[in-house]
C-alpha cells in the first residue's frame, strides 16, 4: 500500500497483521492497533511527544534487571495490573481476594520449616504470623504451599540491597495436615516504590506520591485450587486510601496486634513488644476444563 494517511493507516496495519495463524494474537493486535491509533488521534500526538514517549519506554527497559522490574512498576502505577487481576480473578463471595504481584518476587526463595523466622536477622520488631488455609466450602486444605515476602522496617526488599549474599524477608512454607501455617518475621513499614527511575519521574510529573501502605505478600498454591497472589495490609497504616499501585482491598486489611514483652506464640520470651497476625486464606476451586 502506498500514500497512506491518518485516515487509512490503521486499516492498513490491521490487514498487514491478518496473515497470522494465531487467532488470539490477531485479535489482541487488531485491538491494540485500533486503540493506539485512536489515542494518537484523540490527543493529537505531536512528533516531540512521540519522541518523549519512545525515550521513556526505552529508559524503562534499560533500568530493568533480574532484581528490578520497571515495566511491572509502570503497569502497577497505571492501574493496568489491578485491571487485569480484577477481570481474571472473579471469585465467589468469601474467597480471599487477589491483588498485585509486585516487582520484588523471586523464583528461588528458601524453603523453611513451619515456625521458622524468615527475616534472617534483619533488624525490626518481631512479628508472629499464623492462620489456616481453607476452601470456599470450609474444607481444610492440608500441605498448601505458602510463599511470603516483604520489605524490612526501612522499606527495602532484600533484592534492593547491594552485596547481600542471602535472601531475607522471604520464604516458602507448607501448611500442616490441618491446613495451619505459622512463621516468624519482622513488622514491615509503609514504603515508597522505587522512584529513582523513569516511573518515579512520571509520578513526580503527575504530582503523585510513590508510597505503599504496610503489607505482607503471599502466594498460595494447592492442588485443585486456583493459585492466590495477594497481600495482607496493616489496619491503620498510612496510604491505605492512596496506594501508589492501587492494590488495597478492604477485605485484605487486618489488625496487626501489638503485645507487650512476654511469652510469644513460639513459646519464647520476648524482651520487647512484639506483634501477631492471624489471617485465614480462603481459596477458590480450580475450574475444570470441559472435555
Residues forming a β-bridge with 117: 184
- Output the pTM of the full model: 0.92
Helix, strand, or coil here: 101?
coil
pLDDT score recorded for residue 290: 53
Q: Where are the alpha helices (DSSP H) in 137-252?
A: 198-205
Stretch 189-196: mean pLDDT = 94
The whole-number pLDDT of residue 289 equals 63
Mean pLDDT of 141-158: 94
Alpha helix ranges (H) inside 44-177 = 47-63, 70-77, 80-88
Residue 169 reports pLDDT greater than 60:
yes
With a cut of 80, say whether residue 1 has pLDDT above it.
Answer: no
What is the CATH code for 75-283?
A: 2.60.130.10
| pLDDT for 234 beyond 90 | yes
Give every CB contact of residue 56 below 8 A, 6+ residues apart in sequence: 198, 202
Q: What is the mean pLDDT of residues 73-100?
A: 95
**Percent of the chain with pLDDT strictly greater than 70:** 99
- All structural domains of the chain with their residue ranges: 9-45, 75-283
First to last CA, the chain: 44
pLDDT in tens, 32-66: 999 999 999 999 999 999 999 999 999 999 999 88
Amino acid at each position: 500500500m502506498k500514500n497512506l494517511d491518518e485516515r487509512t493507516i490503521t486499516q492498513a496495519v490491521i490487514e498487514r497483521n491478518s496473515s497470522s495463524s494465531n487467532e488470539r494474537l490477531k485479535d489482541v493486535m487488531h485491538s491494540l492497533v485500533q486503540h493506539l491509533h485512536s489515542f494518537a488521534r484523540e490527543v493529537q500526538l505531536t512528533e516531540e511527544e512521540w519522541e518523549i514517549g519512545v525515550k521513556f519506554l526505552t529508559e524503562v527497559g534499560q533500568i530493568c534487571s533480574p532484581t528490578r522490574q520497571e515495566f511491572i512498576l509502570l503497569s502497577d502505577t497505571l492501574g493496568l495490573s489491578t485491571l487485569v487481576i480484577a477481570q481474571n480473578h472473579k471469585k465467589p463471595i468469601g474467597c480471599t481476594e487477589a491483588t498485585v504481584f509486585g516487582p520484588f518476587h523471586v523464583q528461588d526463595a528458601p524453603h523453611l520449616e513451619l515456625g521458622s523466622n524468615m527475616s534472617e536477622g534483619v533488624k525490626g520488631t518481631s512479628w508472629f504470623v499464623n492462620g489456616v488455609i481453607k476452601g470456599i466450602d470450609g474444607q481444610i486444605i492440608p500441605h498448601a504451599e505458602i510463599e511470603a515476602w516483604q520489605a524490612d522496617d526501612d522499606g527495602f526488599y532484600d533484592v534492593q540491597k547491594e552485596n547481600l549474599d542471602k535472601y531475607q524477608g522471604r520464604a516458602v512454607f507448607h501448611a500442616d495436615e490441618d491446613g495451619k501455617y505459622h512463621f516468624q518475621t519482622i513488622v514491615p513499614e509503609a514504603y515508597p516504590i522505587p522512584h529513582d527511575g523513569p516511573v518515579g519521574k512520571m509520578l513526580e510529573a503527575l504530582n503523585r506520591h510513590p508510597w505503599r501502605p504496610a503489607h505482607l505478600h503471599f502466594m498460595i498454591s494447592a492442588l485443585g485450587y486456583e493459585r492466590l497472589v495477594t497481600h495482607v495490609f496493616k489496619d491503620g497504616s498510612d496510604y491505605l486510601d492512596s496506594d501508589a499501585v492501587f492494590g488495597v482491598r478492604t477485605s485484605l486489611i487486618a489488625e496487626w496486634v501489638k503485645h507487650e514483652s512476654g511469652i510469644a506464640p513460639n513459646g519464647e520470651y520476648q524482651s520487647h513488644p512484639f506483634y501477631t497476625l492471624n489471617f485465614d486464606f480462603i481459596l477458590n476451586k480450580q475450574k475444570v476444563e470441559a472435555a
